[in-house]
Structure 1
Amino acid sequence: MATFLAEFSLCGLVPGPGGDTGGVLGVEQGGNDTDLLLLTDRGRTVTLYKVSDQKPLGSWTVKQGQTITCPAVFNFATGEYVTVHDNKVLRIWKEDDVNLEKVFKATLSADVCRIHSLPKTEPLVLFNGGATRFLDALLAAPQQEIPDIISPGEVIRWSQVLVDGKQTVLIFIAERDGDWFVYVQNLNLNSLLKYNIHQESEACVPLTFAATLQHKFITVISLFSSGHVYEIGVPFHRPETEGQHFLPKSPLIKLPLPSNTALVILDKTHVAILGSLHSEQSASKEGLFIWNTKFQTLQASKELPQGTSGQLWCYGGKLYVPHGKVLTVTPYQCGPSSLAASLGKLKDIQQSESEEVPSVLNWNTFLGGESEPPLTVKNETKKNRSAKKNVDKVERQDVSIGKLLFNVKNAYPSHVEEELTCFLSSHTTPDYHVMTGKVATALVARCKAQPHFYPRGVLIQLVQSNQLSYSSCPDLIALLLEKEDMHLVQLCLQQFPDVPEAVTCSCLKAVLCIGDAALEKVAVDLESVICYIDVDSEQTDKPADIVQNGFSPALLEEDSCDGQLIQKLCPPEPILTCPVGMKRAALLNAVLITKYSETFLLPHLKDLSAQQVMLLLQYLHYLYLKCSEIVGTTLPGVNAPNMNQIIDWMSLLLDAHFTVVVMLPEAKGLLANLHKFVRSQVKLYSELNKIEGSLLELQKMKRQKEDRGLYSIEILEFV
């Protein structure tokens, strides 16, 4: 049975002149690895992507005023990329080339329609007039005359190169005034055949095509505007009679969709179709569907609410669809085609086959007597019985998981909590963490669909089970921020190891923006702040003789020796007060201890307002002073930030908002204190470096092993 796997967005699409993306000019395989994708937009840019990493490996752009008119392809023989701009200008470059103006350029004598390139085949150039040339032959004489093969007025609408063993065939379809023609060119024999496609009416026209070549037989599958999918057999030999030859069509599927736009062949019995999803209760929405052509059944469907440009590609077990303003990648799986699988009954058949049938009937059961355990075959070993028990156990667990997910989506809230509590208390399920992610995803989806449904206790149990991560349920934190459930947000930040930097900044903004009245109603874990922030906000004066992390809190601007420094200490500083309440401080600590990359975090920090930046800087400065009061670099308590994290966040905030902070009058005192803080840190590490150098010199000194008697005095002098 065919199924869709988890989709993801590969890249954003470049907007066109009208503001919309306008679709994509072409998507091709970008190398010998099927994980490489070559994307050509409707403009000037070609980009190479690593699909699994969701990142570009290279990008090339033609100069202003030029337009790419042919999708770029990869030459599998030479490892180069080929494209055409302004219809006739051919460009060839390698991955390490940067500027397309400095790569190979050839101006052709005719307009190019498409370039086709497949593994183990030489790239083939198809011109608008129907003529073809291999790339090497064309490069040998770029200005050679290119004759027109198709009749005047015909326009090529679709083309594809098919390979079966050593047989290479080019098939393209042209249209003229509503009439459709099929051209088949055998590149090995250099022969050209032409056929007509029979149409029932002028209103029913073909929309898209896909073709296969197997055992010297060409099959074209066409999607018509009426919703019918037809199979068209194309003869591979020249007709015996002259004149027009119409190709017969055999219907495969009648789709219950009002409009259809694209089709690709997945395997012998499955096709993927991009069309509109019609519902009587709501307006039509576009969707992606997998149909079984052998049994004419719908196998999988996926709604695309943001709309598409009607384009669909398939490479390496993945479907590529421009969805809204991004290019979406949807992996798929197609199982063996059988009637049981197409009807969704394959699992039940497997279970019935795995059930153990006794070889000797218990007649007491039929006669109404006492039931006895059924007799089994004598030669059945313990190993077989154990294996059957394990199979039955796994099947029962699968059924229970399916029932649980069904109840999560449909049952009453009280029943859902009971079911999930039983599930979380049982750790015998295979792939427990995967099942937990599915349950959390189903819960979040129902919470969004039903605003009054919010099982907070169950969500807390799921987060605290240590089986969830951000990637297993990406929409959970967004839901919690919408509900302003800051306690659960705090737990997610503490438990999830893979929170993206954008989500971390969203949580930070929510913590800084939430009002004090709303925060008082929230139950927050205070373990990270209870040890260094007093509940009554009353703090005793600090002793004047405390040395903070090896240095005084108020160092003099001029350098001096230790004796002079101790004598010139400033009077005790005023009592430290936390700029935020305990609950907000605990939530800020949860943000500060999350893992991040400076490169990805810095752009999102720029979205903070000046007041939010000032409040966070004041709290970080308070944490630094509290951390300096103890001998160590970590604040007391659980999940409290350490000195390195405090300093890193200070640096990132100042880098992101340096100009704003400098211009704020209320920031002058804070900047002065931070300046003293930096100078004290430099002074401290300078002294530590001196001590380290002295210790290294001591370690290198070689002492003579000699008897110095019972008593001796040795003087070590450092120069």
Structure 2
Amino acid sequence: MARLCEEFTLCGLQAADGVHLRAVNVEPARPGCVLVTREERTVTVYKVSDQKPLGSWTVKQTQKISCPAVYNDQTREYVAVHDHKVLRIWKDEDANLEKAFKATLTADVYRIHTLPKAEPLVLFERGSVRRLDDLLSAPQQELENVLSKDEVIRWSAALLEAGSPLILFVTEKDGVFQLYTQKLNPNDQHEYKLDLGDEMGCPLSFALSLEKECTALMCLYSTGCVYKIQLPSNRDSAEEEWVLPQTLLLKLPGCVDSLISAALLALDETHIAVLGAPQSHQCAVKDSLSIWNTRFQTLQTWKELPEGTSGQLWCYNGKLFIPHGNTLTVIPFTCETSSLAAVLGKLKQPSATVKPLSPVMNWNAMLQDQQTGEPQLAVTINPVESTPSRNLRSRKRQNVSTQSQPSALDLTEIKTGTNEKIDEQLTLLLSNPLETNAQLMIAQIATILVSRCMAQNTFYPQNVLVKLLLTRALSYSLCPDLIAVALDKSDYYLLQLCLQQFPDIPESVLCACLKFFLSTSEADLEKVIVDLGSVASYMELDQSSSKPGQNMEIVENGFSSILVEEESSDAPAEKQAQGSWEFDVKSVCPVGPKKAALLNEILLSSYSDTFLLPPLKDLSAPQVMFFFQYLQYLYMKQCQTVNTVLPGDRIPTVSQVLDWINLLLDAHFMVLVMMSEAHGLLEHFNRFIRSQVRFYSELNKIEGSLQKLHQLQPQNDGLYSIEVIEII
């Protein structure tokens, strides 16, 4: 059976006229990546798992990529052809395509084919085939014309046959289709005629099927028929005209009218993917993807594509790539080995030694202690031994000093004891080596204590909860109510520990903590305990920068207050005079050290943009402005250093700060636009971005000069020169 998995979007595609998509092509690149040639001018390499572009290159506006780019895994280079004859070769570190290697050929190129661990092959429009290295050594070499006049290539592919590369391409002339095979080592070319019956229609799509011992060509015709063309293994060069017979593999239903645009791909020996054909007689929708079993001629799975397709289909690493609407969609798939028993559901699994199942613990019952009325802490399970598991009972305290094994804890003390008794019992437990199921033990204790805190307002064992957190055995999923209790008790230190220790805090809970920290006044934090961490490290920078005698202007990492003011000379004077949200490099931190440490824990927490944006919109406008003020300060403080990293351990990076700034702008942009006091803040961000763009623009200008200086040959006369490059 075959199955289509959940689809996702790799990238967007621009529509040429609102209906038809521009030409796009997908080729494999380095592991886990694909190379997308689109919009006739752009080449982009994407990491499929992250849907993230790793590099993009564009030719001039007057140029056009006529041959899709490919990746040469032998040299780790990209190869493309623009304007039919101009060959370009570049690497990942090449930023400008105009500065890449260029070679002008003598004939128009149809396609470049790559093979694993083999040299790329270049197929020209007139049928000539050359190795890429041979062309680079002599770009202006004469090329023979294999095809006759008005004969056009419709499809081509490459494969390895007996270790030697083989090029196959299909041509058309006056409705007659020919198949050519070209082998370079040794040089061997053959020509075959495809047997087209009157009832077959016109070929729409070709696909190469690699079977165990032979190679076959599959063809989808406009009548909805899929034929298989077996390539001969022994090719007789003396044969003048060899007509290849075709075998009907599959008749697609619902193709009463002729198909206009469709695509065909061979997934394995028995499964094919068809794009642009109805999957049944009752369904008239042709914009769909279907997978068929050619051995039993059965439909395995299908997927409707309501936004339309361009009739293009690619398959790499178990994923189908389809231009769908204005996006390039990726659909993972799986195909199982086909057999009659599997189709009928009678396939027997191979006999194997059945391993005994390990005992399964009921985690919820053990955490809530619902199995028995006796106080029990945990169950130790040994999956190797067949002896039944035993409950660990607590011993009397007078025997604790003489026991050699780690002591267990009486849950009666946890459920009914005072804070002092619980603290003593926990200290006793943690002083000995913990059991193998220590995480379950600690989670059970924390759950019982939190339940008591929620039921009894006067009960709050803060020291015990801190000790449990410091064991690093808890997580939010093990004790989800702990943060709620800490928020209710206004325990800042416990909240800080939870943010540091829990990797699975939901985004809604994270926003609740952020809202709580922002609404807290500095006076409330004076008497509470908060781990300052390394916050004082960059706040001391403020104090040192305000000392007398330090008037040196900082011009590092592209930031300069003078440059920002120059860029803002066109701003209204009244806006420049606003001091409420205008930033001064020498200003102090807008929050105290304790609140800064708490906000840093929020910035360092893990989150997902999709789930964080909705609860982030619940922040009030004053809270958003206050948080923006701290993010702005932190961002500008980081930009004063070349490394963009402030001293200390738990300090947010510049990327994390920028991500939160973007999140706040996305969640509250309309509110910020409507607030007059926020205009200075938005204007400052705009000016700073313009200054950064100007700085990096100047760097790009001197990049070429530095490369030329690096390529100059050293002179032997012993003379040298010193050049000073000033960034204005």
TM-score (norm 1): 0.53
Q: Superposition pairs for residues 458-477 of structure 1, below 5 Å?
A: none
Q: 1:240 to 1:497 in 2, by over 3 A?
A: same
Return the match for 2:146 from 149, 152, 159. 149
User: Does 2:112 match 1:111?
Assistant: no
Q: 1:297 to 1:65 in 2, by over 3 A?
A: same
Q: Which amino acid aligns with 2:10?
A: L
Whole-angstrom CA distance in 2 between matches of 1:649 and 1:139: 49
Q: Which amino acid aligns with 2:26?
A: V
Q: Which amino acid aligns with 1:46?
A: V
Whole-angstrom CA distance in 2 between matches of 1:547 and 1:596: 26
Check whether the contact 1:277–1:303 (CA below 8 A) recurs between aligned residues.
no
Superposed CA offset, 1:218-243 (max 9, x none): 31111111111111012244447654
Map of 1:30 onto structure 2? 29
Map of 2:83 onto structure 1? 86
Check whether the contact 2:625–2:678 (CA below 8 A) recurs between aligned residues.
no
The runs of 5 or more residues in structure 1 that have no matched partner are 355-382, 391-464, 468-493, 509-524, 534-541, 552-558, 560-591, 625-643, 672-719
Superposed CA offset, 1:230-265 (max 9, x none): 110122444476543321111111111434611111
User: Does 2:312 match 1:307?
Assistant: no
Seq. identity, %: 47
Return the match for 1:101 from 98, 102, 105. 98
User: Does 2:274 match 1:277?
Assistant: no
Q: Which amino acid aligns with 2:94?
A: D
SS in 2 for 1:65: coil
Q: 1:59 to 1:21 in 2, by over 3 A?
A: farther
Q: Which moved more, 1:295-304 or 1:230-239?
A: 230-239
SS in 2 for 1:170: strand
Map of 1:369 onto structure 2? none
Q: 1:165 to 1:193 in 2, by over 3 A?
A: closer
Offset of 1:4 from its aligned partner? 1.8
Map of 1:491 onto structure 2? none
Map of 2:60 onto structure 1? 63
Q: Which moved more, 1:263-272 or 1:229-238?
A: 229-238
Check whether the contact 1:466–1:495 (CA below 8 A) recurs between aligned residues.
no
Check whether the contact 1:185–1:193 (CA below 8 A) recurs between aligned residues.
yes
Check whether the contact 1:23–1:322 (CA below 8 A) recurs between aligned residues.
no
Map of 1:208 onto structure 2? 205
Map of 1:7 onto structure 2? 7
Q: Which moved more, 1:325-334 or 1:43-52?
A: 325-334
Return the match for 1:616 from 613, 620, 629. 620
Whole-angstrom CA distance in 2 between matches of 1:262 and 1:168: 25
SS in 2 for 1:113: strand
Q: Which amino acid aligns with 1:205?
A: C
Q: Superposition pairs for residues 538-553 of structure 1, below 5 Å?
A: 547-550=523-526
The runs of 5 or more residues in structure 2 that have no matched partner are 361-475, 479-501, 528-542, 544-600, 629-651, 682-728
SS in 1 for 2:98: helix
Map of 1:689 onto structure 2? none
Q: 1:4 to 1:661 in 2, by over 3 A?
A: closer
Check whether the contact 2:307–2:324 (CA below 8 A) recurs between aligned residues.
yes
Q: Which moved more, 1:109-118 or 1:218-227?
A: 218-227
Offset of 1:117 from its aligned partner? 0.8
Whole-angstrom CA distance in 1 between matches of 2:300 and 2:276: 15
Whole-angstrom CA distance in 1 between matches of 2:68 and 2:665: 45
Map of 1:324 onto structure 2? 325
Map of 2:432 onto structure 1? none
Whole-angstrom CA distance in 2 between matches of 1:126 and 1:112: 6
Q: Which amino acid aligns with 1:294?
A: R
Whole-angstrom CA distance in 2 between matches of 1:657 and 1:318: 38
SS in 1 for 2:147: coil
| Aligned alpha-carbon RMSD (Å) | 5.0
Q: 1:297 to 1:666 in 2, by over 3 A?
A: same
Q: 1:219 to 1:310 in 2, by over 3 A?
A: same
Superposed CA offset, 1:174-199 (max 9, x none): 01121111111122221211111111
User: Does 2:193 match 1:196?
Assistant: yes
User: Does 2:132 match 1:135?
Assistant: yes
SS in 2 for 1:276: coil
Superposed CA offset, 1:421-449 (max 9, x none): xxxxxxxxxxxxxxxxxxxxxxxxxxxxx
Whole-angstrom CA distance in 2 between matches of 1:647 and 1:313: 37
Whole-angstrom CA distance in 2 between matches of 1:330 and 1:44: 26
Q: 1:277 to 1:51 in 2, by over 3 A?
A: same
Check whether the contact 1:617–1:650 (CA below 8 A) recurs between aligned residues.
no
Map of 1:470 onto structure 2? none
Whole-angstrom CA distance in 1 between matches of 2:221 and 2:339: 26
Check whether the contact 1:210–1:264 (CA below 8 A) recurs between aligned residues.
yes
Map of 1:571 onto structure 2? none
Whole-angstrom CA distance in 2 between matches of 1:132 and 1:649: 54
Whole-angstrom CA distance in 1 between matches of 2:670 and 2:211: 67
Q: Which moved more, 1:309-318 or 1:647-656?
A: 647-656
Superposed CA offset, 1:293-319 (max 9, x none): 111111222221211111111111111
Map of 1:634 onto structure 2? none
Whole-angstrom CA distance in 2 between matches of 1:267 and 1:330: 17
Return the match for 1:47 from 41, 44, 48. 44
Offset of 1:214 from its aligned partner? 5.3
Whole-angstrom CA distance in 1 between matches of 2:167 and 2:657: 64
Whole-angstrom CA distance in 2 between matches of 1:177 and 1:650: 62
Whole-angstrom CA distance in 2 between matches of 1:303 and 1:265: 20
Map of 1:408 onto structure 2? none
Whole-angstrom CA distance in 1 between matches of 2:523 and 2:183: 88
Q: Superposition pairs for residues 530-545 of structure 1, below 5 Å?
A: none
Offset of 1:30 from its aligned partner? 0.7
Whole-angstrom CA distance in 2 between matches of 1:300 and 1:654: 43
Offset of 1:342 from its aligned partner? 3.0
Q: Which amino acid aligns with 2:247?
A: S
SS in 2 for 1:277: coil
Offset of 1:154 from its aligned partner? 0.7
Map of 1:120 onto structure 2? 117
Q: 1:63 to 1:385 in 2, by over 3 A?
A: closer
TM-score (norm 2): 0.52
Q: 1:298 to 1:616 in 2, by over 3 A?
A: same
Whole-angstrom CA distance in 2 between matches of 1:272 and 1:648: 41
